[in-house]
Every structure is written in structure tokens, then in C-alpha cells.
Amino acid sequence: MAATSTTPLEVCVKASVTTPNKLGDCPFCQRVLLTFEEKHLPYDMKLVDLANKPEWFLQISPEGKVPVAKLDEKWVPDSDVITQSLEEKYPDPPLVTPPEKASVGSKIFSTFIGFLKSKDPTDGTEQALLNELSSFNDYIKENKISAADLSLGPKLYHLEIALGHYKKWSVPDTLPYVKSYMETIFSMDSFVKTRASPDDVIAGWRPKVMG
């Protein structure tokens, strides 16, 4: 018998910097919240102002990082560890990524950041991102990728908003599978419920762009 949770699971996540009492723009927090939503687990979201971390939060997360979730009376950091623990404890519905898919799209986020921070249009960072998106496009053309791939969705959401705002760039039409994958994930109820506002995403990346 799979465990079910009746007591809401506590989770600390980044608070919005633009709107009081709203969820902020951390893709790793969103991944954990999506996992709660897709597994139909009740949760109690504690919003943390990362610019002014409260004492109670530093006691449970000495490094001051989010997300942290309370599982079996222990505070657990790191979205990889949290989602893995949730999978083990609440296996239904299964959201585990098969090992052969674990690396799919894994370099998209780092190449997106490289391009976003780039000041030189000829430095190859745009091409590096296009190469990653293109191999992801070829992969999803041939393979069903589950909407349960909850780690990539929030990162693609950041990519779309930040590059649209700072670079006036969007995923090209030559990558139709990536585009439809993004549309599918971004329109999931669980995604809509847990996503950050575009203003928060833009504000969150500003230091990287201006740096």
C-alpha cells in the first residue's frame, strides 16, 4: 500500500520580490512544488525572503538555500534529493525519470545562462544553446517525454521569459517539438499553479545580465 499524506508537508520556497505573499522565481522550488501537485500531496508552502532570511529559516537551512522540505521530521535540502525521497515515499503516481532519460536536456539550462550573460553576439553562446535545444528537439521527436519531467519545465519557462525580455529571442520555429513540449508543460494545471510571475523571473535574472 503506497503511503498517502494527510498532514500537509512543509516546504520552504523563495518568495516573490515583486509581489508580497507570492511565490518567487526559483525553478528548483517549482520542481518540488510540481512534484507535490502531480502526486496530489497536500503541502504547506513557507515563503522565504532570500534577501532578508529569517532566523527560523537559517536554523533549518544553515546555508540559507531553498527549497527545503520536511520529510519524516527532518528538513531535507536540494530538489534532487527531495524529489527522489518523495518518489520513494509516495510512489503513486510514478514520476521518476528513467536513467536513460536523466541526461536529456540537462545542458539546456547552463547554455541558456551562458547566452543570457553574453555581451558578444559572435562568442558562440547562442549557437551552443541552439545545439542543445536542437538535440532535445530530435530526442522528443522520437521519444515520448513525460510531462512528469518536472525538472526541465521550470528551466524552459525561465529561458523563454528571460531571453524574450533581455535578448528579444525565442525558440526558433525550426524546433517545433521543443515549442509544443513547452506549450504542453506550461499549460498543465500544476504548472500554472506553481509558476513564478514573469516580472519575478525578469527581476531574478537582472543581476546576471547586468553583472
- Give the pLDDT confidence of 160-184 residue by residue, as tens digits: 999 999 999 999 999 999 999 999 9
- The average pLDDT across 59-88 equals 96
108 and 61 in a common domain: no
Where is the domain boundary, 68, 89, 110? 89
145 and 81 in a common domain: no
205 and 108 in a common domain: yes
107 and 204 in a common domain: yes
Examine residue 154 and say whether the peptide bond preceding it is cis (omega within 30 degrees of 0).
no
Residue 29 catalytic? no
Q: Provide the CB-side half-sphere exposure for 22 (13 A, CA).
A: 15
Q: How big is the CA angle at 10 (ends 9 and 15), to the nearest 5 degrees?
A: 135
Q: Number of folded domains in the chain?
A: 2
- The average pLDDT across 117-125 equals 96
In the numeric block, which cell numbers belong to residue 55? 532566523
76 and 141 in a common domain: no
Q: How big is the CA angle at 41 (ends 6 and 200), to the nearest 5 degrees?
A: 130
Q: How big is the CA angle at 171 (ends 165 and 176), to the nearest 5 degrees?
A: 150
pTM listed for this prediction: 0.92
Given the residues 17, 26, 86, 116, select the one marked as catalytic: 26
How far is residue 65's CA from residue 139's CA, in Å, rounded to a whole number?
Answer: 33
